[in-house]
Amino acid sequence: MKILVINGVNMNMLGVREPEKYGSKTLKDIEKELYSESFKLGVELETFQSNHEGEIVDKIHSAYYNKFDGIIINPAAYTHSSVAIRDAISAVALPCVEVHMTNIQGREDFRQKSLTAPVCLAQICGFGEKVYAIALNALVEYLK
């Protein structure tokens, strides 16, 4: 089983950016823990981060062509603005779980609307960096 994990804009700044909201772990720290979890599950994992919308779209497309079984995505700020990412998720028709470290429903009004969630299998938010492991375990169970 192959799972692609995509992180969007500003996620490379974890550990520096608003630690009161996002914690002190870096994206590399989170990815290391996720790779460990994927090893326990016997799942092949690939991670990707970009601050560029088109690169994220291209990576979603590549998941289809490279025969990934599912996607975990944190579109970050693109959650609320990117029709292109939404359309790419819809186009590849792979099971996709949207994750957010914070509870977007409890944030500013403009952050409460997700354009991407309606084309995803599920959305998990509010559990900090644990959302990635929760999503991975849930997606693997779903795919079985």
Q: Which residues belong to the active site?
A: 22, 100
**How many other CB atoms are found less than 10 A from the CB of residue 94?**
18
Sign of CA dihedral 23, 40, 47, 32: positive
Take residue 3 and report the two structure tokens written for it. 């799972």
Which three-class secondary structure state does DSSP give residue 125?
A: strand
SS3 sequence of 14-75:
CCCCCHHHHCCCCHHHHHHHHHHHHHHHCCEEEEEECCCHHHHHHHHHHHHHCCCCEEEEEC
